[in-house]
Chains A and B, each alone.
Chain A
Amino acid sequence: MRKHNGMRPQDVVILLWMSKQGNQPWKYADAAGMLKISQSEVAEALHRNLQAKLVDPTKKKVHKAALMEFLVHGLKYVFPAQPGALVRGIPTAHAARPLVDHIVAEHDIFVWPSPIGNMRGQAVTPLYDSVLKAIRTDPELYELLALADAMRVGRVHEQKIAEELLRERVYKHEFSQSTNP
């Protein structure tokens, strides 16, 4: 078995994308196409996630409890972020949906630096560069990534709300399945 040399940011991006897929079947090519990364990177990331017990042995389903544990308690230590200079960009963390509906922060904004962004705020490095392209066609993924950023750079009460919203989204398919007859 290949040695696990630590998690990479794309591993988290793939986990978030998989969590939103629910029980919908998907192929490596789908993940690669949607996340704008190569298929070999997808395979490598899934292998690392398997070793960390974050996905099941088929590598097609996320272990939701483990993912939540990692997002809440581990993400900010493994992939820390520090707000930087004021730049144009795409809003993230508490400045993006869904957290922006819960927190008032008109003058205190975090963004992913991007020339196509429509806001000015403190730069926060996204988990992985390709997400800036991936979120253009996937608003659900954008919400998950913004919430993950709130776990990385947010303050205590934002992290609490972000945790709740992440949990809702990660377990969404479980709930919808169990409530249907």
Chain B
Amino acid sequence: MNFHKAPTLERLSPLLNGLGPFQRYAIWVGNGILDVYLTDQAACGWRVPREAAFLLQLPSLMERYRWEEILKELGWQRLGMTETGFTRYSFKAHTALISTWPGEALNGRDRWYEDACFHCERILGNNGSELSVFSPLYLLATTLDSLPPREADLRYSESFARIAYLFAGRPELVEEIKKGFYEVRQHIQRELGLLLSHPDLEEALIHVLPQEEWYLSEVVIARMKEVSTSMVFS
């Protein structure tokens, strides 16, 4: 629950209300949720995309077959598909990306989505609206999975930028990782180890962090190192 960032959730209210019976199955994913998790009051803000992405965890077989039809009945208009397996919809003056889980989100490639959906957190807005989101731990795990291949340029990776902002703006992240389940901790530790050995890491951090706050790259690297060198106990 995070009251500090409640306006973010209020901004999503029209979309959530528009989801009707699907609202309780919606999990908010994508770039926007990072804003909720930057707890450091002096953190450099994350500019949130207006287009929110939702996963619908549909419980019944009937809804899995008919979810697109039901959305249409609720007034949603299908605009097209994205590369990541989400469908772009417009609802009144808003647009959103929607996919189902299990389903075609990330073309089924993300191995942490199942655990991330299971260990979702609930956030509460000032207006009483509630929404499930990936916890910081699983946000990090899924984002590490979506990093570009080692030879690609980190400076242009949105996933890398997300990781950098999360480490820079959430001091408690290191402790949260240490308290996480063994498998996900091991995955994060291994992936961060690989990231730390990337020859362009420092340059890429200076590139993705705000220009006037380049010194944060040292903080990010120190926190990543703390995670990657800490012991993983089962």
Contact = CB atoms under 8 A, between A and B. Distances in A.
Interface of A: 82-83, 94, 101-105, 107-108, 153, 155-161
A48 to B, nearest CB: 28
Contacts of A158: 47
Contacts, number: 45
A103 B48 contact: yes
Interface in B148-162: 155-158, 160-161
Interface string B151-191: 00001111011000000000000000000000000000000
B156 A156 contact: yes
Contact of B49 (A82, A107, A108, A157): A157
Contacts of A104: 11, 47-50
A82 B211 contact: yes
A108 B211 contact: no
Contact of A157 (B11, B155, B158, B211): B158
Nearest to A159: B156
Given A102-B50, A103-B50, A108 B158 contact: no
B208 A156 contact: yes
Contacts of A83: 211-212
18 contacts: A82-B212, A83-B211, A83-B212, A103-B48, A104-B11, A104-B47, A104-B48, A104-B49, A104-B50, A105-B47, A108-B45, A108-B47, A155-B47, A155-B210, A156-B155, A156-B157, A156-B158, A157-B47
Contact of A156 (B11, B51, B161, B212): B161
B51 A102 contact: yes
Contacts of A103: 47-50
Contacts of A157: 31, 47, 49, 158, 161
Contacts of B212: 82-83
A83 B160 CA distance: 23
Interface in B43-66: 45, 47-51
**Highest count of chain A CB atoms <10 Å: which of B11, B47, B208:** B47
A161 B47 CA distance: 12
A163 to B, nearest CB: 10
Contacts of A105: 47-48
A105 B160 CA distance: 21
A83 B44 CA distance: 14
Contacts of A156: 155-158, 160-161, 208
Contacts of B210: 155
Contacts of B158: 156-157, 160
A134 to B, nearest CB: 27
Contacts of B211: 82-83, 153
A103 B155 CA distance: 20
A82 to B, nearest CB: 6
